[in-house]
Amino acid sequence: MKRPYGPGADPTGWLRRYHRPPVEGPTLVVLPHAGGSATGYYTLSQALCGAAEVLTVQYPGRQDRLGERCVDDIGEMADRVVEALLPRAGRPLVLFGHSLGSIVAYEVALRLESLHPDRAPIGVIVSGRPAAAIHLSRGLSLLEDEDLAASISDLAGTPPELLADKDLMAAVLPSLRADFKAAESYRGAAGTRVSCPLYAYSGAQDHNVPREGLLRWSEHTSAEFTVRFFEGGHFYLQSQEPEVARALACDLHTLTRTALLAPTH
């Protein structure tokens, strides 16, 4: 198990910081995909720790939070992440979420802008999911365990050795099922938008994210909208991690510079 870097452990249990942050720079909050965990983004954190303080969200019901109740509602997830972030003031905030994490990131941004404008993010980067206003439900949360395991095998994001380990899968499937339920029950707020720039990332061969669905993220910001495509499918983050890290570092720099140059009122 990767150990968080101290000091300043998160008392809520929702955030992990694995690497020493730079003296200056933004905070990048990484929100994992369905079934994902904080440690799955450890190497991405390592690649970006010179550009930002990287905080990775650990949803309950997995790894060191295995004994906790899984959360199966996007709104509750977003509320808990906001609570964890509020005490961590001082750096500009950027949210990055993949798949399930993208809608959690978007909902966190909406809450911060409306309820805590002093902590509003300077940018949101969504990945691997069509726009929040598009309802997605493949009924995965209702599948029997074997069929649910097969469905994540189809996404090519889970190591075959884990899928073959029945004990490990028995521990993983409850949180995966809860995550899928959260994603499938989510009704994105059509007509809502953030006031900060929004960037959308996708694997060029991800059949789960049609291009037109990705482009509709433009409806969810009143500021700049940018799209980036990477070679690969739904889990292009793994196969193209060096390129993704370079893109994130570039976009973090741009977002921070834009925020600094923005007029104050």
H or E element, residue 238: helix 236-239
Tell the residue number behind the tokens 């902590």, with chain if given.
Answer: 119
* Catalytic pick among 45, 99, 141, 202: 99
Q: Rounded distance, CA 262 to CA 265, Å?
A: 10
Secondary structure E strands in 46-154: 53-57, 93-98, 123-127
Quote the radius of gyration of the chain (alpha carbons, Å).
Answer: 17
Contacts of 86 (CB under 8 A, 6+ apart): 116, 119
Q: Give the length of the chain.
A: 265
Active-site annotation holds for 234: yes
Catalytic residue among 19, 33, 220, 234: 234
Q: How far is CA 220 from CA 99, 139, 141, 217, 226, in A?
A: 16, 26, 27, 5, 12
Strands 93-98 and 53-57, bridge-based pairing: unpaired
Q: What is the DSSP letter of 117?
A: G
Q: Is 265 one of the annotated active-site residues of the chain?
A: no
Number of helices and strands in the chain (H, E): 9, 7
Residue with tokens 């990131």: 105
Residue 183 token pair: 């994603």
| Backbone phi and psi for residue 230, each to the nearest 5 degrees, phi listed first | -125, 150
Residue type for position 10: D
Element (H, E) at 259: helix 241-261
Q: List the catalytic residues.
A: 99, 234
